[in-house]
Amino acid sequence: GTSRQPLDAGGEKLGVFICYESVFPDEVRQFAKNGAQVFVNISNDGWYGDSGAYAQHLQQSRMRAIENARWLLLDTDTGVTAAVDPYGKIEASLQRKIRATLVAPYALSSVTTFYTRHGDWFAFLCAIISLLALVTRLPIREKTGS
């Protein structure tokens, strides 16, 4: 859908997203901005096969937890299932292709980080300033007329 509103589950506000939506920082950020207290990512990692993509998916999910200071619960069918704390630490996990239930700790958070509030504008500003600094340092060649 197009709404990034948290799901109310018995008073807990869950930011629920599926599969590789976790690789889009702004999509996940909107859940936190709209009041999600914990993130839940439900994913079918089976299409990754035996590549390293399942590990990349986990690392991307860890970044979303850090950016927004939220616990992230990653539930996969064939990838790594994990509970990631707001600092990106994997507190509990099941390795890939293991059929089991993970009982993991998590906590609710309503903290608003700089990234949650402002998104990527700071990174864009740094890129623009760097580009301007580079351009102003380039030597200018004078045309010689003959």
Non-local CB neighbours of 122 within 8 Å, separated by 6+ positions: 114
pLDDT for residue 89 is more than 90: yes
All structural domains of the chain, each given as residue ranges with its CATH number in brackets, are 7-137 (3.60.110.10)
Torsions phi, psi for 104 (to 5 deg): -135, 150
Supply the pTM of this predicted model. 0.85
Q: What is the pLDDT of residues 31-85, one digit of tens each?
A: 999 999 999 999 988 777 788 888 899 999 999 999 999 999 999 988 899 999 9
pLDDT for residue 144 is more than 80: no
Exposure b/e, 107-132, CB count within 10 A at least 16 = b: eebeeebebbeebeeeeeeeeeeeee
Non-local CB neighbours of 57 within 8 Å, separated by 6+ positions: 20, 22, 23, 43, 45, 48, 76, 79, 80
How many CA atoms lie less than 13 Å away from 101 in the CB half-sphere?
Answer: 1
The single-letter DSSP state of residue 141 is: P
